[in-house]
Amino acid sequence: MSSRIAVVKTYKLYVGGAFPRSESGRTYQVVDAKGGFLANAAQASRKDARDAVVAARKGFGPWSKATAYNRGQVIYRVAEMLEGRRADLAEVLEQSGEKHGRAIVDASVDRLVHYAGWTDKIAAVFGGANPVAGPFFAFSVPEPTGVVAAIAPQQDSLLGLVSVLGPILCSGNSCVVVAAQERPLPAILLSEMLATSDVPGGAVNILTGSPAELLPWLADHADVNALDLTGATTELRADAERAAAGTVKRVFSPRQEDFLAAPGTARIRAFLETKSVWHPTGAVSIGGGTAY
């Protein structure tokens, strides 16, 4: 019988393209479906949440200014990396009690490919020319909202996570995502892939810990532009919606979803702003004179 003591893994947060410890020094145990120990995860504090927002604001610039084609390439690259770690992801999913791990990983890869394909179609689908009564040409252009704070689904720890993350990224937003508290390992593995992908540091920030502790600070933060409350409880949703009103945030608060179903466009539209542009097309007669 071996007397070797296994090295206990303690995972960190993913903020600004790096892996810092929680500033509080707190961790919590992640257990499998039978209560057995798997690893320690960092328990993010409100200071960590504020640091993640700062990183997301810095990451928003380069990500939103990248061409739609380039964003699609980057998201597709993340899908490739998930495909390459199918076995690892399937194992942690099944350890956490999620059945059919490989099928979930495959669906998650396909979901990222789906959103990678959307990046260069958003302008055509959600923008367009507007009819106006005058010698003007008016057109609407969709733009990203900014920094989005999201609570990932608590049960669908991988497919639900990428279903939340994909539309936020494909439309050019940056984000702070609070992973599933009891099942954070898929999100942690995803963060390791993001760190070695072409996603700019800060475009995606992943926190582990308690949504109840972190969401109030994110909802009240003046530099967060929108909230995705997919994984929040009913009580947390109500409090977050009230807090978000103080800074006029966009709030996307869907009810129970089947993430295996084909995604629509609601999640993409949730974090887009529309800019209208007017351009004169000719001379206008005003009081006998001509204005150009």
Residue 255 placed within a domain: yes
Residue 113 inside a domain? The answer is yes
State the Cα–Cα distance between residues 120 and 68, nearest whole angstrom. 5
Q: DSSP character for 68?
A: H
Q: Is residue 287 part of a domain?
A: no
Q: For residue range 131-181, what is the model confidence (pLDDT) as tens digits?
A: 888 888 888 889 999 999 999 999 899 999 999 999 999 999 999 999 999
Q: Would residue 253 count as lying in a domain?
A: yes
Tell me the pLDDT tens digit for each residue of 50-99. 999 999 999 999 999 999 999 999 999 999 999 999 999 999 999 988 88
Instruction: Give the chain's count of helices (H) and strands (E).
Output: 10, 13
C-alpha to C-alpha distance for 181 and 45, rounded to whole angstroms? 13
Residue 231 lies in a domain: yes
Percentage with pLDDT > 70 across the chain: 96
pTM for this predicted structure: 0.91
The count of structural domains within the chain is 1
Range of the domain at 54: 10-282
Determine, yes or no, domain membership for 4.
Answer: no
Q: Report the pLDDT value the prediction gives residue 227, as an integer from 0 to 100.
A: 98
What one-character-per-residue DSSP string does 36-51 give?
A: -EEEEEE---HHHHHH
CATH number, domain containing residue 133: 3.40.605.10
